[in-house]
Amino acid sequence: MPLRQRPGVLRQLTRRPLAVAGLAIIAATVAGAAFAPWLTGYDPNEQLFDGLTLQGAPLPPGGDFLLGTDLLGRDLLTRLLFGARTSLVIGIVANGAALVTGTLIGVTAGYFRGWIGSLLMRFTDLMMAFPALLLAICLAAVFQPSLWIVAMVIALVNWVQTARIIYTETSSLAEREFIAAERTIGAGTPRILFRHLLPHLLPTVIVWGTLGISTTVLLEATLSYLGIGVQPPTASWGNIIFENQTWFQTAPWLVFFPGAAILAVALAFNLVGDALRDILDPTGHGRQ
């Protein structure tokens, strides 16, 4: 059933405690990233005069620094908030590009089929044969790492799952009676695609778009931790962990807080995505 014929999606979503918790985490993350410059009053790259102990060690959480400071005396909360900007920007841009690419390839292959569909799906299978992390590492190593290059690399490795799912659903929909009826009355390909196929595919696209942000956030953090993602001094949750990992035993908060942020945001998008998958079940019978 098309999305426009599914009333009360938001109402059903707010009736699920886990989905509400996920939405709350996402809202808090977005708000923190948007208002980061005004929430703490510190610059994310400012090495504060009073940000280290007399022995040169990071300050623990408390006092003027709610989450403590890092190895260079920078406010950790500020860097986490600016790191949220990095994760959200890459998550939205990279996942959006992957979603558009996967949907376009999946719809084209599923609707036209024949040699076009076979060629596109064999290319998709070829891309799926490569481990996503390994392929991302290779691509990131070739290009000069930056925020936008990392987003492009992640988009290049994340579109294949969407393409496979959309291809399967499009192939099934193309055999339905209402599509055959449209062809019988002489409807053109654009009308069939935009008036009939895409509205039925929209729920699946929304679900995979939500779930894909979680994967994108995790992959970006992994690449940044490995040193081939977003480069310092730009704050990223992954490179914050990398920079401070040598202090893990004496200042564990430097690793715990960014790790907890990655876990919380990834889990939040998964919870919302799972709830949407149940509500927007293509059979029309969302699981409760």
Which domains are delineated in the chain?
Answer: 91-228+251-279 (1.10.3720.10)
Residue 2: per-residue pLDDT = 54
pLDDT tens figures, 31-81: 999 998 888 888 999 888 888 888 888 999 988 889 999 988 999 999 999
Residue 33 CA to residue 201 CA, distance in Å, equals 32
pTM of the prediction? Answer: 0.85
Which tokens belong to 44?
Answer: 């994310």
Range scoring the smallest mean pLDDT among 78-92, 148-162, 182-196, 264-278: 182-196
Residue 53: per-residue pLDDT = 86
Identify whether the C-beta of residue 264 lies closer than 8 Å to the C-beta of residue 25.
yes
pLDDT tens figures, 228-248: 888 888 899 999 999 999 888
Identify whether the C-beta of residue 179 lies closer than 8 Å to the C-beta of residue 119.
no
Greater pLDDT, 189 or 1: 189
pLDDT at residue 99 tops 80: yes
Which of the 8 DSSP states describes residue 145?
P
Residue 191 CA to residue 1 CA, distance in Å, equals 18
pLDDT tens figures, 125-155: 988 888 878 888 888 778 877 888 888 888 8
Burial label, 131 (beta-carbon count in 10 A; 0-12, 13-18, 19+) = exposed
Pick from 173, 36, 26, 28: nearest CA to 113: 173
